């Protein structure tokens, strides 16, 4: 659906929205309308993933957890429907639509319209949707400072230690230390506006009847920067939000201009400096996105490095939910003895257990629940849909290159050797009992296999495999079982001499005539075997 069809887009957004709880103490607003031209992708900027989760979902979670509320307005724009559907219908979450992107202030105006005429007396926190490393701790710290100082507005800031020319964030401007307003926040000047200043030009602020002027170099070298995360008391926000002008290089409605408006109106503005500058990172290109991914990976490694063995700190993936589950297990005090080899990918839904070893480049994706002392070989793949489950017993081995997919239950002491495919559907799950061995190039679909059986080089589709004990005490093995072949009449020898004729005059290639009637109906079991 194209965004120019405003009515259709707004209908979808309304269907996905839930009512806000205006009796709650806070509402969060996530600005997710940007197109991100420099990211050079057909995918919405807000749907690019950081550590396996779209950035808009990461920011939304951080805001809600930090505010301790479900109240959320997500402002969408480019690819609005895609963004809204990715987030999905959530309790007390509303999707606003900014059909034309005219700046952050304009986006907040689009959000606040969803309050209608209803009176909301709590606080409103605003965050960009691309700050995918924002966490609940940073949000909570800003809220604490805001509430403790009984401010009208709060801003989360960071400190930049690198080359000022490389600092593309807006600068936090404070009153000089030798002034009566020492350290008070006067306003924010965007980097783009600073670099457009003439060498001798000044940027002037007023506070309590006094003027403070700052030159281009002074602003450029200011180390404190704006992260784009703000919190307001709702009443003054609603009062002054529509007074923001467009006198800037971009000609847009900057939300940052509210600081100057609040200060000139005698309202209190405070700042909280984030302990971790990474929470301020937003991406406009793939380079910064990769940088954020590296930071996210390093954070996970630091949390798990003393709990499990990760062979390569620069090449692994363990989803957030799995990380939290491992940390809970570690608190029980028993060594986990879990090993994650180079390039392994462990996604949401996986439940690791004591003594599990995940091999090099293996993939675990979906509700894959492990017993104890399970080995997953290199390049193995265990995957299922969200409504399915793979359950693996204790002391099992799923070896190199194996694929286990769908609804599958594997008992204890099962050994599935290299290059085996096991698939269970919703209607036909696979159940493999204890002490089973599967070898060779084997495919199993929708089967039930009794204990102690060994299977070699077979194709088994919707079969019940019994445990049969021979008189000598050996369990009957299953070897070289193949079902009857189908479609043999569609298969003919490839003979390029007789099958193609070159026409010297026209250079046309004539196809081989279709097989005659004598070929049709030939025995469908020809060439097949069964044992």
What share of the chain has pLDDT > 90, as a percent?
A: 76
Mean pLDDT of the chain: 90
CATH 3.90.550.10 in the chain: give the residue spans. Answer: 6-157+226-280
Model confidence over 349-390: pLDDT tens digits? Answer: 999 999 999 999 999 999 999 999 999 999 999 999 999 999
pLDDT of residue 43: 85
pTM: 0.85
Please name which of 1, 35, 36, 26 lies closest in space to residue 16, comparing C-alpha atoms: 1
Model confidence over 103-159: pLDDT tens digits? Answer: 999 999 999 998 876 678 899 999 999 999 999 999 999 999 999 999 999 999 999
Q: Which CATH number fits domain 309-479: 1.10.10.10, 2.40.50.140, 2.160.10.10, 3.40.190.10?
A: 2.160.10.10
- Measured distance CA(115)–CA(132) in Å, rounded: 26
pLDDT of residue 497: 53
Whether the pLDDT of residue 520 is over 50: the answer is no
The CATH superfamily label for domain 6-157+226-280 reads: Spore Coat Polysaccharide Biosynthesis Protein SpsA; Chain A (3.90.550.10)
- Measured distance CA(159)–CA(274) in Å, rounded: 8
Residues facing 449 on adjacent strands? 432, 465
- Measured distance CA(59)–CA(34) in Å, rounded: 14
Q: How far is CA 323 from the centre of its chain?
A: 15
Instruction: Report phi then psi at 468, rounded to 5.
Output: -115, 120
Please name which of 254, 223, 232 lies closest in space to residue 158, comparing C-alpha atoms: 223
Mean pLDDT over 94-102 rounds to: 91
CATH 2.160.10.10 in the chain: give the residue spans. Answer: 309-479
Mean pLDDT over 469-487 rounds to: 94
As given in the structure block, the two tokens for residue 211 are 């003027």
Q: How far is CA 207 from the centre of its chain?
A: 44
């Amino acid at each position: 659906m194209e965004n120019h069809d405003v009515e259709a887009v707004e209908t979808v957004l309304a269907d996905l929205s839930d009512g806000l709880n205006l009796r709650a103490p806070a509402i969060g607003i996530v600005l997710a309308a940007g197109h991100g031209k420099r990211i050079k992708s057909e995918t919405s900027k807000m749907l690019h993933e950081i550590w396996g989760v779209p950035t808009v979902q990461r920011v939304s979670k951080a805001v809600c957890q930090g505010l301790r509320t479900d109240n959320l307005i997500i402002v969408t724009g480019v690819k609005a429907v895609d963004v809204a559907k990715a987030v999905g219908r959530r309790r007390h979450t509303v999707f606003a639509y900014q059909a034309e992107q005219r700046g952050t202030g304009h986006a907040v105006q689009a959000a606040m319209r969803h309050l209608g005429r209803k009176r909301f007396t709590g606080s409103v926190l605003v965050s960009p949707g691309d700050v995918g490393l924002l966490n609940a701790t940073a949000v909570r710290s800003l809220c604490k400072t805001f509430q403790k100082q009984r401010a009208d507005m709060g801003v989360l800031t960071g400190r930049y230690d690198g080359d000022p020319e490389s600092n593309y964030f807006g600068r936090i401007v404070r009153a000089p230390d030798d002034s009566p307003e020492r350290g008070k926040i006067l306003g924010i000047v965007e980097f783009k506006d600073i670099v457009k200043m003439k060498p001798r030009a000044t940027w002037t602020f007023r506070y309590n009847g006094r003027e403070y002027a700052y030159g281009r170099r002074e602003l450029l070298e200011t180390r404190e920067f704006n992260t784009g995360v703000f919190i307001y008391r709702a009443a003054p926000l609603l009062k002054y939000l529509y007074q923001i002008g467009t006198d800037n290089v971009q000609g847009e409605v900057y939300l940052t201009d509210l600081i100057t408006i609040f200060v000139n109106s005698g309202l209190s503005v405070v700042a909280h400096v984030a302990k971790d500058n990474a929470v301020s990172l937003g991406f406009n290109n793939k380079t910064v996105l990769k940088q954020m991914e590296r930071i996210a990976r390093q954070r996970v490694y630091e949390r798990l490095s003393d709990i499990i063995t990760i062979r390569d700190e620069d090449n692994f993936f363990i989803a957030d939910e799995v990380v939290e589950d491992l940390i809970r297990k570690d608190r029980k005090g028993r060594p986990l003895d879990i090993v994650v080899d180079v390039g392994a990918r462990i996604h949401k839904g996986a439940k690791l257990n004591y003594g599990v070893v995940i091999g090099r480049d293996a993939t675990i994706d979906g509700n894959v629940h492990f017993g104890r002392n399970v080995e997953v070989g290199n390049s193995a793949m265990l995957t299922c849909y969200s409504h399915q489950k793979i359950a693996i017993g204790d002391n099992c081995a799923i070896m190199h290159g194996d694929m286990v997919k769908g609804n599958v239950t594997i008992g204890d002491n099962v050994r599935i050797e290299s290059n085996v495919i096991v698939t269970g559907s919703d209607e036909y799950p696979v159940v493999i009992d204890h002490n089973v061995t599967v070898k060779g190039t084997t495919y199993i679909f929708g089967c039930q296999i009794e204990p102690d059986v060994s299977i070699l080089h077979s194709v088994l589709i919707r079969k019940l495999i019994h445990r049969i004990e021979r008189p000598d005490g050996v369990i009957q093995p299953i070897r070289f079982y193949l079902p009857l072949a189908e479609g043999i009449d569609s298969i003919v020898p490839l003979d390029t001499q007789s099958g193609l004729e070159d026409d010297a005059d026209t250079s046309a290639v004539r196809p081989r005539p279709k097989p005659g009637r004598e070929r049709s109906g030939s025995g469908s079991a020809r060439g097949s075997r069964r044992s």
